[in-house]
Amino acid sequence: MARFGTPQRNALRRTVPTFLLVVAIAAPAAAAVKKMFVTSVAGSTNLSTWPQAQGLSGLAAGDAICQTLAHDDAGLPSWQDFRAWLSTLSEDAYCRVAGFDGLKVDDCGQLGLPDAGPWQRIDGRPFANSLSELTSDLALLHPPAVDETGELLQASSLLTGSNATGAAYAGGDCSGWTSGSAGNGRYGLTAAGGFWWTSSGLGSCGASGRLLCFESGSGDALPAWEGPGLLAFVTSVTGPGDLGSWPEAGSAVGLAAGDAICQSLATTAGLAAPQSFVAWLSTASVDAVDRLSADGPWKRLDGVEIAANRAALLTASPFLQTLPSALVVKEDGTYVGQNAYTGSTSLGRATLEDCNGWTSASAGTDATYGSVQDTRGYWTTSASQLVACSSPYRLYCFSNLGGIFRDGFESGDRARWSASVP
């Protein structure tokens, strides 16, 4: 793939003094649309060892790495405004990408907690409407899976030191990003939605990872990304693997109970064609993928596409990214980060681990589940890892009726989705 700004890259490198890459950043003026990317290179948790660190260490090295790549590889005119999404005991990632220093609990040193964004990835896909929505509502639009050249990255670890709110994760900053051996670091995941993108696990400071780079401050609104499609959501309610025991199931059992749950929730939420929804579930007699009679595209309630067609929902390897965005939006339009029953492989076929056809919550019965925040094949399969059927999990729900449109108004109402062209 061609690199953004390649024709001027070498000239820029000759004429821009290195020290300009690390200028202090005050809250920058609004730009057209703010950009974000994942570094194309990975390195040690001791950031001073990265070739792009410009001889700096800690957070300053992280910013220098982001600015160097934004300038040299992406050719972005606003390269000086980029900061690394990193937290330490004295600075939170939230404050840093808002264009300030300090801690979120102290309002980043301002009179009130600042906001920032929105951002889009280098490839133009929307990332988040605002910093506050991203860190408070888990409202991630697309995972941060694209580097500064526009290349899509398969699942990679991200150095963040941060929790879901963008504040520091205690004991997770590898000594202020100066240690490549002792201690632990908090990591995110490029292929994730929800909060996993910034806080998916704790690992040794001996591991390597990439950095998230944000153009700091506030900018213009994101371009429209909505279009016609079929709706899909993850349920706002949870229950055991005996789906007939869920209040929303009525008198239905097994697979029929799963569909009844989806249809009941869609009706209550005021979604168009609620009776068209089916649960993404497999049993010994039917595969989840074959329960979809339509062929997409499927969209979340926020208008973000999760799959262009049935084939796009599937992958032979669960480790490979398959969805452009995670199915983390509930029927009420809010976001969630928990797991869902599926009984399915990454190809949408039955695993035969299905709580006795979704009729049992008894001890000794297990089920395959999907990770709601994942865009890899793990969205639908936990592979060999199973969950007890007594566990309170969610369901995925897909509409089989096409031609659903969203109007162009700013009401944010779920009723914006209808079968009528706006």
Same domain, 177 and 126: yes
In the chain, which residues have pLDDT < 70?
1-31, 402-422
Q: 46 and 193: one domain? A: yes
> Which segments of 160-311 are extended strands (E)?
184-189, 201-204, 210-215, 230-234, 277-279, 298-299, 305-307
Q: Is 338 exposed, middle or buried (0-12, 13-18, 19+ CB in 10 A)?
A: middle
Task: Tell me how many domains the chain contains.
Answer: 2
pLDDT for 402 equals: 66
Q: Prior bond to 118 cis, omega within 30?
A: yes
pLDDT digits (tens, 9 = 90+) for 362-417: 999 999 999 999 999 999 999 889 999 999 999 999 999 865 555 443 334 445 55
Question: Is 223 within a domain?
Answer: no
Tell me the backbone φ, ψ of residue 414, rounded to 5 degrees. -60, -25
Return the CATH number at 140. 3.10.100.10
Kindly state whether residue 222 falls inside one of the protein's structural domains: no
Q: What is the pLDDT of residue 226?
A: 75
Residue 418 has what pLDDT?
54
Which pLDDT tens digit goes with each residue over 18-29?
A: 433 343 344 444
Secondary structure of 181-199 in HEC code, one letter for each residue:
CCCEEEEEECCECCCCCCC
What pLDDT shows up at residue 321? Answer: 87
Residues 281 and 200 in one domain: no
C-alpha to C-alpha distance for 337 and 198, rounded to whole angstroms: 13
Statement to judge: residues 199 and 281 lie in one domain: no
pLDDT of residue 384: 83
Nearest in space to 96 (alpha carbons), one of 43, 24, 21: 24
What's residue 16's pLDDT? 36
Distance from C-alpha of 238 to C-alpha of 258, rounded to nearest angstrom: 12
pLDDT for 97 equals: 98
> For residue 187, is it left (φ>0), alpha (ψ between -120 and 50) or beta?
beta
Q: Are residues 197 and 298 in the same domain?
A: no
- Nearest to 227, CA basis, from 168, 150, 170, 304: 304
Residues 14, 110, single domain; the answer is yes
3-class DSSP state of 358 = helix
Answer with the one of 184, 215, 246 that is the final residue of a domain: 215
Q: Tell me if 277 is assigned to some domain.
A: yes
pTM of this structure: 0.87
Which residue type sits at 335? Y
93 shares a domain with 57: yes
User: Among 168, 187, 215, which residue terminates a domain?
Assistant: 215
Please give the pLDDT value at position 155: 86
Q: Which domain holds residue 242?
A: 230-418
Pairing type for strands 82-84 and 210-215 reads: antiparallel
What would the two tokens of residue 267 be? 């009706």
